Amino acid sequence: MHQHGNKLLFKVVSASLASLSVVCYLDYITGYDLHFFVFYFLPASLRAWYLGRPTVVMMAVLSGVAWGLTDKLSGHPYASNLAWYWNTSVCFSSVLIQGLVAQWLKFNLNEQKKAREDLARALEQQKQSAAEIQKLQEQSHGVGAWAHWITVGGKWVTTEEFLKNSFTSNWHTGFLRKPSRFRVGKSVGFLNRRGFGT
């Protein structure tokens, strides 16, 4: 992982310096009549996207100085050196702001990607939890004979309550089938005498 980071650092730094050199050369040979100012944003954008804020500041300084020297060597006349310093500082500030904006955009994209991944993991965990709950419900469905309780519609009731409320149904408890020819009271008494209701 550390080796991969070093390779990325070397590639991005090399690409940014190479692109700055190409822009400076093109700016020099075309003269000061043609403006190549916007292309000085490219090296800083590369560093902003892959390396982060500190390298953006460094690249903005290099871009400002490179633009100033190129402009000076191209023979651009100025009424005073103050105008040259002003233009150089404007180039530096513009490249810096553009690089910071690019770094901010990359940071927000990474945060959104992380949020989507967290949401996907949460949904997957929720799905697994729901499947486990459903499995437990299926396993616990039926009669708790040892406690004389049963589940009806997700609610636990005693066998006596169930027999009283649904005596005429064909439900089988696993240890007694309810004969519909007996009265409810006699059936409940029969269960109590056999120890099922205690």
Residues 6+ apart with CB under 8 A from 136: none
129 in a domain, yes or no? no
Mean pLDDT of the region 71-91: 88
* HSE-CB of 163 using CA atoms within 13 angstroms: 26
My answer on whether 100 and 149 are in the same domain is no
Q: What is the pLDDT of residue 162?
A: 67
Count of structural domains within the chain: 2
Q: What is the mean pLDDT of the chain?
A: 77
134 in a domain, yes or no? no
33 in a domain, yes or no? yes
Task: State CA 177 to chain mean position distance.
Answer: 56
My answer on whether 25 and 92 are in the same domain is yes
* Greatest C-alpha distance within the chain: 118
My answer on whether 60 and 154 are in the same domain is no
What is the percent of the chain with per-residue pLDDT over 70, rounded to a whole number?
Answer: 68
- pLDDT tens track for 60-76: 999 999 999 998 888 88
In this structure, of 55-64, 72-81, 90-99, 183-192, the range with the lowest mean pLDDT score is: 183-192
